[in-house]
Amino acid sequence: MTDTAASTLTVVAPAYNEAQGLPAFHARLCEVLDALDLRTRVLYVDDGSRDGTWEAIRTLAANDPRTDGLRLSRNFGKEAALSAGLDHADADAVVVIDTDLQDPPELIPQLVEQWRAGFDVVYATRSAREGESRFKRFTAAAFYRVMERLSDTPLPRDTGDFRLLSRQAVLALRELRERQRFMKGLFAWIGYRQTGVSYRRHARHEGRSKWNYWRLLNLAVEGITSFSVAPLRLATWIGFGSSVLAFAYGAWVLLKALIWGDPVRGYPTLILVILFLGGVQLLALGVIGEYLGRMYAESKQRPLYFVQDRLSSDAPAAVRDDP
């Protein structure tokens, strides 16, 4: 490990319509950072907010030399905002944190401690989720259990994106340019020495969660299909099983007709078989389409995000474009 006094730490904080809570977040964060014997910076990534988030970031940056800002050209989603932050954070360690104060900045010293003990990825594990409905907690728990079963990459349970990454881990993450990004999975996938620190998750400080169940469900599908081929295999097995059954049944029907004949009756079985096989085929097609869609998205090789504005106290003049 390098001389810690000279080590740098950058906090990457994605913000989408968080103008209300940002000053409070910044104040709490800075209090923690001031107490660390590290050279710290804060990098806010404005993920195409439509409220005054960018203005709030500018105000913070104007009053605090360690604060930088990055503004994406539109709302690309948290995963892309995080990636943008990681791409632009040049430090020995990077902490990823939500700006809604659900991830307590006070935990950062503990993350740093583990990093100094030699870990590359130190994730924060929630021991309690406050201000979230029982249904949300149940679905979240169910998701982690399902992922654990299906995926080849074990995900630490009850872990959000709040974590510390060493430079090595950040460099590894930058190599992963896939468009369908499930950050929690990617964090785990890169490997290296990983450990967790547990904390109590608080309710949102301001505003409300941008995730509704539809977005969460989509995130879950993203997570499962990005990290496992189990649905594809399931479709294969269902398809295989039903064809064996259909074949056996077909043989039986044929035999029966040969021996006893079957005038007109049999319509119900016929329609039943057609519907069943049609359903199975549609299911399999849907699953294939899911993966095909992914390949389509990847094959376009689009950039993950575009940066519209950049605020940086020590960036070259060319990229400093605030009036």
18 touching Mg ion, by CB under 5 A: no
- Both tokens of 203, joined, read 């309710």
Residue 198 main-chain phi, psi, to 5 deg: -100, 155
The residue count for the chain: 323
- Residues 6 or more apart whose CB falls under 8 angstroms from that of 308 comprise 71, 72, 73
> Given candidates 14, 69, 105, 185, which one binds ligand UDP under the rule CB under 6 A?
14
- From the list ligand UDP, Mg ion, none, pick the one residue 210 interacts with, judged by a Cβ distance below 5 to 8 Å according to partner type: ligand UDP
Closer Cβ to Mg ion, 136 or 294, answer by number = 136
Footprint on residues 82-121 left by Mg ion (CB under 5 A) = 100, 102
Contact 59, 46 (CB under 8 A): no
Q: Contact between 99 and ligand UDP (CB under 6 A)?
A: yes
> How far apart are CB 100 and Mg ion at their closest, in Å?
4
Residue 65: DSSP 8-state: T
Minimum distance from CB of 267 to ligand UDP (Å)?
52
| Pattern 58-97, ligand UDP, x by CB under 6 A | -----------------x-xx--x----------------
Instruction: Give the one entry of Mg ion, ligand UDP, none that residue 68 binds, where binding means its C-beta sits below a cut-off of 5 to 8 angstroms depending on kind.
Output: none
57, 130 Cβ separation under 8 angstroms: no
H helix intervals, 152-266? 167-175, 183-189, 213-227, 230-260
Please choose, out of 8-16, 83-91, 167-175, 237-245, the segment that lies near ligand UDP by the rule CB under 6 A: 8-16
> Does residue number 159 form part of the binding site for ligand UDP (CB under 6 A)?
no
- How far, rounded to the nearest angstrom, does the alpha carbon of residue 318 sit from its chain's CA centroid? 32
Give 70's strand partners.
Answer: 45, 310
Nearer to Mg ion, 26 or 58 (CB): 26
Residue 103 in tokens: 């991830």
Binding stretches for ligand UDP (CB under 6 A): 14-16, 18, 47, 75, 77-78, 81, 98-100, 102, 209-211
